[in-house]
Amino acid sequence: MAKRSLVVVESPTKVKTIQKYLDSRFIVRASMGHVRDLPKSQLGVDPRKNFKPKYVVTPSKKKVLDELKKAAARADALYVATDPDREGEAIGWHLAQELDVDRKKVYRISFNEITERAVKAAFKHPGKIDLKKVDAQQARRVLDRLVGYSLSPLLWEKVQRGLSAGRVQSVAVRLIVDREREIQAFVPVEYWSLHARLGAKRPPEFVATLKEIGGRKASLADETATRALVGSLEGVQFVVRTVTRGERRRNPTPPFITSTLQQEAGRKLGFTARKTMTVAQQLYEGIDLGSEGAEGLITYMRTDSVRVAREAQGDARGWIVARLGEEYVPPTPPAYRSRGSAQEAHEAIRPSEVRHDPKSVARHLTKDQLALYRLVWERFVASQMMPAVYDTVSADIEAGACLFRAQGSTLRFRGFTAVYEESREEEPPQTDEDPEGAMPSLEEGETLRLVALEPRQHFTQPPPRYTEASLIKVLEELGIGRPSTYASILGTIINDRGYVHRERRTLVPTELGMTVTDRLRPFFPEIMDVEFTAQMEDSLDAIAEGKRDWVQTVREFYEPFKVDLARARKNMVNEKAGEDIGEACPECGEPLRERRGRFGKFIACSAYPACKYKRNLPGQERAEDQPTDETCPTCGKPMVIKHGRFGKFIACSGYPECRTTKPVTLGIACPEPGCGGQLVERRSKRGRTFYGCSAYPGCKYVLWQRPVATPCPKCGAPFLGERAARGRVVRRCVREGCDFEREAELPVA
């Protein structure tokens, strides 16, 4: 029997989609992401040996790798069909190192969309693993490990145990901290505007805004000056001096790239960057369309290129002509220009098949999948359409020494807006200084009727806080990070580090985030420098293009970093030692200090550990307490949710007089036989979240994956374990011997 070829993809979702496009000579399996990585327990990089990385099989992937080895033993060739980016290239290289296959028969398959046409075309022209891309990924991994495993112990020693820092994440936090400081230092300045509500020979009434006084730009600093000007205009005629008519064309925006998709999904759908990428991954990997089977609905979602395949442009033009008419398509398909660093081998994010419009596939998609797919589909189709055309009119109106201006526009041709309108988040607050509304037909020299003068007070506004969308936009403009990293950067600084929190969709630095930034900035100017970080991204691009050596690039970074690290260890202020507050300890008389712990600042005796006196800062005793609808069974006072060293718990609000407590359960029964406890969320001494039994120490059941109250469809276990990795949320059965696993249908935001 002839041997078959092994095809390895990253996700199990892709297996079913791709397998149906290939014949029986191919067997498709999933690697579930990386099978090898640097060890977690040690640096894993040897600077003395050209930064040689030490790769080990990831413990959680040992079973997956064993299965792949068995499949490879029965295969004659290996086809690496991982994602078409550097990370996918590196995954394929690691697989080729681990699997026992003839290196001459290791082929690289790359496709931008998971459709029958694209997959079969890729297999007709297989290539080889691009070692330059592997080197670029390896350089990034080594750099990040050198920074993370060097700075984290420093922060543990100088600031607070459990902290960490990252090469790119620290710059992102710095941007948020700098913006917050700008806001705090901002002093608002008062100014006024003046608007005239006017009537002409024909309706409607309209509003004109003061622009000039005595031939100079109008500037009204306060109410006194504004009221005086209003008084001077009593009885003055308002006369139309000039009327200017014109045309304004509004062009469509390019199809999405990763960053713009994350921004728009955040603005229009309220998605986090991580959620956007999770849902996009599902749409890319394959959706079961009933009789048509599983098919990828969008092209690859990690891209910085706006290039579109000619075939896709032709499909879009055909749809537009059939539904809207020929006047909606330009004579030739539009061409959009990508940024200089974009990988033009990739395409923009677009629907794989324009014929799959959102309405026709809606019944096969979840609510989130449909919302994101509609965004991608409409944006792409609109990008291939004619501009919207507006008729504009502007009138300058004289009133004594003052010049007022009114302007308006009317949509003449819808163009691309018939399909899609881009959202605007970063517009300045609406002040109505230059309103555009309906305008009557005006004639030069026409005298107008003054209906009312409307003075309005304003204050200059501080720069807005970043949202996820606006931060991604700035990171992209500054050249920090790459399409595949934005979601993980934001997830790390918000969810994992506690340096930033969300406040009504805006990003606000925590006190801890500001402290860490302030401590790192003077000692690590390059790591905290926006321009240097962007230059490093350019260097990684150059490695991928074969223009730089990865070892030399890492060495150029590491040598000055090593000097900075030694200086910081010697001279950085020790936050943990604290600052004297000018008060004596009530128990031993030694000075009290303000110190920092895992849960913020507190007051403690400087003689610790000989004296263990400590207290909360004023006003923070119960800052994190959350009310419940329960009453204490001991004293009858309200019970509250508190945040302790090892996680949340419910306690009596009468503490310390009443010390009644109980755990916060997840509503899932402990699976241990005979145990009547419930699962609760806890935190280890190192700050890692895990899930244990409320009956501890009587029951010591422990789970490191988040339990979800969904029964296993294969073995009937009462709940599944959920884990997020590489932009995907995976649920698997926790019962020993059951191998059920699938991607979560509803991703975690």
Q: Just list the catalytic residues.
A: 300
Dist. CA 110–CA 346, nearest whole Å = 10
Question: How far is 335 from 356, CA to CA, in rounded Å?
Answer: 23
The backbone region for 727, taken as left when phi is positive above 0, alpha when psi lies in -120 to 50, beta otherwise, is left
DSSP 8-state symbol, 492: I
> Up-side HSE of residue 312: CA atoms within 13 Å toward CB?
28
* Parallel, antiparallel or unpaired: strands 647-652 and 706-708: unpaired
Q: Contact, 700 vs 719, CB < 8 A?
A: no
- Residue 393 has φ and ψ, to the nearest 5°, of -140, 135
103, 80 Cβ separation under 8 angstroms: no
- Distance CA(53)–CA(45), nearest Å, equals 5
**What letter represents residue 79's amino acid?**
Y
CA distance 748 to 730: 10
- Per-position b or e across 657-683, b if 16+ CB within 10 A of its CB: eeeeeebbbbebbbbeeeeebbbbbbb
CB 90 within 8 A of CB 139: no
Query: ∠143-145-150 over CA atoms, to 5°?
Result: 105
Q: Which of 546, 298, 245 minimizes the C-alpha distance to 412?
A: 245
Which tokens hold the place of 483?
């399409």
CB 596 within 8 A of CB 160: yes
| Of the candidates 703, 653, 658, 659, the residue with the CA atom closest to the CA atom of residue 678 | 703
Short-list 714, 717, 744, 710, CA closest to 728: 744
- Using an 8 Å Cβ cutoff, are 304 and 259 in contact? yes
Q: What is the DSSP string of 610-639?
A: T---EEEPTT-TTTT-EEEEEE-TTT-PEE
* The Cα angle at residue 264 between residues 260 and 265, in degrees rounded to 5: 115
Q: Is the dihedral of CA 486, 488, 491, 493 positive or negative?
A: negative
CB 713 within 8 Å of CB 664: no
- DSSP states along 518-584: HHHTTT-TTTT-HHHHHHHHHHHHHHHTTSS-HHHHHHHHHHHHHHHHHHHHHHS--TTT-EEEEEE
